[in-house]
């Protein structure tokens, strides 16, 4: 049963609804829901197993012994098994495991072992000395940051000397507004009114039920000698890729790292200054807060939607294109580094609010192949009092309450209350503000226009 209050406003009654559901019960429901999601991903990806993506960016994903968590829901199934001598796959979905097993048999991969299990069952492999533990797609479906912490800690404990852990596709918390702004504008006809886009955007934000994590949360992660926060390539098949990152955690100091002595803050002449310093063969050089094309434009759209200017879709796309044209494509900086014999690495460890990247160039020796230079140590930003992650379970609970509980309350009010006593607006909130004496603090209740997209207007005329 929900708690409901009916304060009076100038326009009518506002109902503040607080759903009462045991969080642990709802958390279990979310985890069971992951099985269905994994089954769908498996069905969508059938026949997509392929060779390893062993390019410079992914060279750390090639290993002789591999433990893959959620092995049936990755972008390319069994890619980590090809070239490995020992591969153990774990997945929560029986359907996914069946498909992966069939693919392994077709490919003659006799070294593949599979078992049914959740991601945190990596705890069962502590001390098994895997060279690589990888979880490459379902992190945004984890129930909370504590589950991610537990899974990542267990994965590190399953690696041996020189081992590393790769957790991919983590949604970037500071970029959630930009991610949904890009979503609502993408594909919308040019003449769609800004008010419609604003409503869709706010609704998507209110219904956000994926785990979002701030990259700064991984600073000084226990059990890791070095942690990288790598931005996801914007040209990925995933629409959320520009607003996601991968985490690579190295268990010990076997993989060499280097401090970057000089950091240039991005400006109009920073690229030219960097090129001149690279030509002088400095050991390492960094750039901070580099605006990223494809993300900077989405951030601009989000700000315009938030300002409620009513800008139509076509104009929003033009604004985004202008901002992106002034931003930087990471591949252009990578090409600049390659021209002078440097590895170029990118990071979201700074947690910059507009999605800016930190970039580091590390010089290779003449006999080193691309990607083999020491890893740069990127400075992590400070979280301060900011939340390191959202609570998708709680958010999912509120979204479900808006979807089915509010309509039920409306129907009940229509039957049981006279018209003048029916709420005009329903707000689903996490909790009611309280005074120091425990009473509901009416003055602190959010006004209808202060929580846009969360209140649901009763269409029945009053």
The 10s digit of each residue's pLDDT in 279-309 is 999 999 999 999 999 999 999 999 999 998 9
Q: Which pLDDT score, from 0 to 100, does residue 296 have?
A: 96
Q: Percent of the chain at pLDDT above 90?
A: 55
- Strand runs (DSSP E) across 378-447, as ranges? 423-428
- Relative to beta strand 257-259, strand 284-290 is unpaired
Dist CA 285 CA 233 (whole Å)? 22
Q: Which pLDDT score, from 0 to 100, does residue 204 have?
A: 87
Q: Which pLDDT score, from 0 to 100, does residue 445 have?
A: 77
Q: What value does the mean pLDDT take over residues 245-262? A: 93
Residue range 114-145, pLDDT digits in tens:
999 989 999 999 999 999 999 987 888 898 89
- pLDDT of residue 451 exceeding 60, the answer is no
Q: Which pLDDT score, from 0 to 100, does residue 208 have?
A: 82
With b for 16 or more beta-carbon neighbours within 10 A and e for fewer, the 369-403 pattern comes to ebeebbbbbbebbeeeeeebbbbbbbbbbbbbbbe
Q: Which pLDDT score, from 0 to 100, does residue 461 have?
A: 30
Q: Which pLDDT score, from 0 to 100, does residue 219 have?
A: 93
Under the banding of pLDDT at 50, 70 and 90, the label for residue 75 is low
- pLDDT of residue 320 exceeding 50, the answer is yes
Helix axes 23-45, 392-400, angle to 10 degrees: 90
The residue written with tokens 């076997």 in the block is 254
- Average per-residue pLDDT in the chain? 84
Dist CA 247 CA 348 (whole Å)? 10
Dist CA 16 CA 7 (whole Å)? 8
127 Cβ contact partners less than 8 Å away, ≥ 6 residues apart = 157, 158
Q: Which pLDDT score, from 0 to 100, does residue 51 have?
A: 44
The token duo for 194 is: 């800004």
More confident call, 52 vs 246: 246
More confident call, 444 vs 184: 184
Q: What value does the mean pLDDT take over residues 426-441? A: 81
More confident call, 423 vs 65: 65
The token duo for 216 is: 């700064």
Q: What value does the mean pLDDT take over residues 176-202? A: 94
Q: Which pLDDT score, from 0 to 100, does residue 407 have?
A: 84
More confident call, 241 vs 55: 241
pTM: 0.81
More confident call, 318 vs 9: 318
Comparing 190-199, 303-312, 368-377, 442-451, the range with the smallest average pLDDT is: 442-451
Q: What is the DSSP string of 436-453?
A: TTSSB-GGGSPPGGGSTT
- Relative to beta strand 212-213, strand 112-116 is unpaired
Q: Which pLDDT score, from 0 to 100, does residue 239 have?
A: 84
101 Cβ contact partners less than 8 Å away, ≥ 6 residues apart = 112, 114
Q: Which pLDDT score, from 0 to 100, does residue 59 have?
A: 78
Q: What value does the mean pLDDT take over residues 59-67? A: 90
Residue range 204-248, pLDDT digits in tens:
887 788 999 999 999 989 999 999 999 998 766 678 899 999 999
Q: Which pLDDT score, from 0 to 100, does residue 58 have?
A: 74
Widest distance between CA atoms in the chain: 83
Where is mean pLDDT largest: 41-50, 166-175, 430-439, 440-449? 166-175
Q: What value does the mean pLDDT take over residues 147-153? A: 95
| Partners of 456 in beta bridges | 426
- pLDDT of residue 389 exceeding 80, the answer is yes
Where is mean pLDDT largest: 3-12, 193-202, 429-438? 193-202
Q: Percent of the chain at pLDDT above 70?
A: 84
């Amino acid at each position: 049963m929900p708690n409901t209050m009916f304060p009076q406003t100038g326009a009518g009654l506002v109902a503040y609804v607080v759903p009462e559901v045991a969080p642990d019960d709802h958390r279990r429901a979310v985890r069971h829901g992951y099985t269905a999601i994994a089954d769908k991903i498996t069905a969508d990806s059938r026949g997509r197993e392929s060779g390893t993506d062993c390019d410079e960016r992914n060279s750390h994903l090639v290993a002789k012994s591999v433990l893959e968590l959620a092995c049936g829901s990755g972008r390319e199934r069994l890619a980590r098994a090809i070239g490995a001598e020992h591969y153990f796959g774990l997945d929560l979905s029986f359907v996914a495991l069946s498909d992966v097993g069939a693919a392994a048999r077709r490919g003659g991969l006799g070294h593949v072992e599979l078992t049914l299990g959740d991601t945190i069952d990596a705890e069962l492999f502590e001390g098994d000395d895997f060279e690589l533990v990888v979880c490459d797609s379902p992190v945004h479906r984890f129930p909370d940051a504590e589950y991610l912490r537990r899974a990542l800690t267990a994965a590190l404990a399953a690696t041996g000397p020189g081992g590393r852990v790769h957790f991919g596709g983590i949604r970037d918390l500071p970029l959630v507004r930009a991610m949904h702004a890009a979503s609502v504008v993408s594909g919308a006809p040019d003449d769609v009114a800004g008010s419609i886009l604003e409503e869709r955007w706010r609704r998507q934000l209110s219904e956000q039920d994926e785990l979002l994590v701030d990259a700064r949360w991984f600073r000084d992660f226990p059990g890791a000698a070095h942690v990288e926060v790598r931005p996801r390539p914007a040209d990925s098949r995933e629409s959320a890729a520009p607003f996601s990152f991968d985490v690579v955690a190295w268990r010990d100091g076997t993989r060499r790292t280097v401090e970057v002595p000089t950091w240039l803050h991005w400006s109009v002449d920073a690229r030219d200054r960097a090129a001149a310093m690279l030509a002088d063969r400095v050991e390492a050089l960094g750039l901070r807060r580099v605006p990223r094309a494809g993300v900077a434009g989405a951030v601009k759209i989000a700000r315009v939607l938030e300002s409620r200017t009513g800008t139509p879709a076509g104009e929003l796309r033009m604004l985004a294109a202008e901002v992106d044209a002034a931003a930087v494509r990471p591949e252009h900086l990578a090409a600049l580094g390659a021209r002078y014999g440097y590895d170029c690495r990118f990071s979201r460890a700074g947690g910059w609010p507009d999605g800016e990247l930190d970039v580091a160039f590390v010089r290779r020796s003449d006999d080193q192949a691309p990607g083999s230079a020491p890893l740069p140590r990127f400075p992590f930003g400070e979280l301060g009092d900011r939340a390191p992650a959202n609570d998708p379970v709680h958010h999912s609970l509120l979204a479900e309450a808006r979807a089915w509980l509010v309509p039920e309350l409306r129907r009940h009010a229509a039957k049981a209350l006279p018209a003048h006593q029916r709420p005009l607006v329903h707000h689903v909130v996490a909790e009611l503000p309280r005074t120091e004496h425990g009473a509901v603090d009416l003055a602190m209740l959010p006004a209808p226009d202060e929580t846009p997209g969360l209140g649901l207007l009763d269409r029945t005329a009053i």
